[in-house]
A and B are shown apart, each in its own frame.
Chain A
Amino acid sequence: MAYQFDFAPVLANTDLLLRGALFTLELTAIGAILGVALGIVGAVVRAWKIQPFCWFFGVYVELIRNTPFLVQLFFIFFGLPSLGLQISEWQAAVLAMVINLGAYSTEIIRAGIQAIPRGQLEAAAALAMTRFEAFRHVLLLPALGKVWPALSSQIIIVMLGSAVCSQIATEELSFAANFIQSRNFRAFETYALTTLVYLCMALMIRQLLNWIGRRYVMRNSHE
């Protein structure tokens, strides 16, 4: 007998799915803001070769980019407590996302900074801009503008990757899906709907980041 699809038991738990999706978005938002901030620091240190941090960020970037997010998450959640550092599930999830995104965005933003001609900063100094003004308007924003699409993609990859945080019982979207299918035994239907929610979130975040990019980051770079 052919299998009868039944989405009703899943749709009955829409509120759980939505709550999970909201938590995934919260984790992503915090992770993205702190991760990109860390990436900016790392990119400046790497681009200007500020010792001794340059070496540190170099090792950090290679270590993170060459190991799976899931292992980083386990290392933080199970490994750190044995050093006497207790953190909760969601804190571990956010920390792992920040560290992960920080490494990728360091490399992405560094490429943007290195694409800014050196003369630009000298020109800014000649116009009597303060160092901070020059850094913000002449270096950072144009650099971010150049790499904004790549940075956006990386943030979406981190959001999708956060699905594995259910493994340390962070109560995000895939955790909600696991919970629902464990009670209604409609595994395929549950995960199919959850996947659709992830797809919608990915498209939504893409639109949002495009809008932020146009509105705040790339507004001066219509060369």
Chain B
Amino acid sequence: MSDFSFWDIVRNLLTGLQWTLLLSLVAFIGGGLIGLLVMTLRISKKALPRNIARTYIELFQGTPLLMQLFLVFFGIALLGIDISPWLAAAIALTLFTSAYLAEIWRGCVDSIAHGQWEASASLALNPYEQLRYVILPQALRIAVAPTVGFSVQVVKGTAVTSIIGFTELTKTGGMLANATFEPFMVYGLVALGYFLLCYPLSLSARYLERRLHASA
């Protein structure tokens, strides 16, 4: 019936899994860098940057990732630039990730006692130095667990990029399901692939959270 043996299917899915992993890493690192910038704007004392950052976060948290992907994919094409699904997926997921991480990290920075800002200001540190040398090192400790927890959402988010034609795990699974007429088995394996990526992240997020509470 089909020319695919079980191991052919697994081998193809593993190739797809690599792209899922790569896209997750790119989105997470890129999203972290932009997220840090957005977070800095979000905690600004000036209203304008604060509102810009808040709107940015609201927009990404209040709309479907699929629509964000379509807008990036078709929007950049309008500028006359030929954009591959891979690049569109990376850009859209990076922006998506940055909005969520900015909001998570803002919460962590907010939870640092206000006196820390005042104390570092009284030591003649400028606002950047206060954030960099006093606040962030403390906020980082609190931020690790929720950040690792959110990375699960990033890995799962990459599945949506199959819709604009990026050949990651889900897309590979779809093609294999069509070729083998065994959707139950193929999608089961696809789900297993995501589970193997995400479950360790979930477990470590839970472990980190427990450890933080134990030491606090």
Contacts and interface: CB of A to CB of B under 8 A. Distances in A.
Say whether A associates with B: yes
Contacts of A72: 191
Contacts of A174: 64, 66-67
Contact of A67 (B67, B78, B157, B198): B198
B67 A74 contact: no
A192 B75 CA distance: 9
B71 A164 contact: no
Contacts, number: 120
Contacts of B191: 63, 67, 71-72, 75
Interface residues of B, number: 39
Contact of A199 (B63, B70, B74, B202): B63
Given A66-B152, A68-B159, A79 B66 contact: no
A71 B161 CA distance: 12
B67 A63 contact: no
A188 B182 contact: no
User: Which bucket holds chain A's interface residue count?
Assistant: 35 or more
Given A70-B159, A202-B63, A62 B78 contact: no
25 contacts: A65-B152, A66-B199, A66-B202, A69-B156, A70-B162, A71-B191, A74-B177, A78-B183, A78-B184, A80-B184, A83-B184, A156-B62, A163-B66, A163-B67, A167-B163, A174-B67, A177-B67, A188-B71, A191-B71, A191-B74, A194-B67, A195-B63, A195-B71, A198-B67, A202-B62
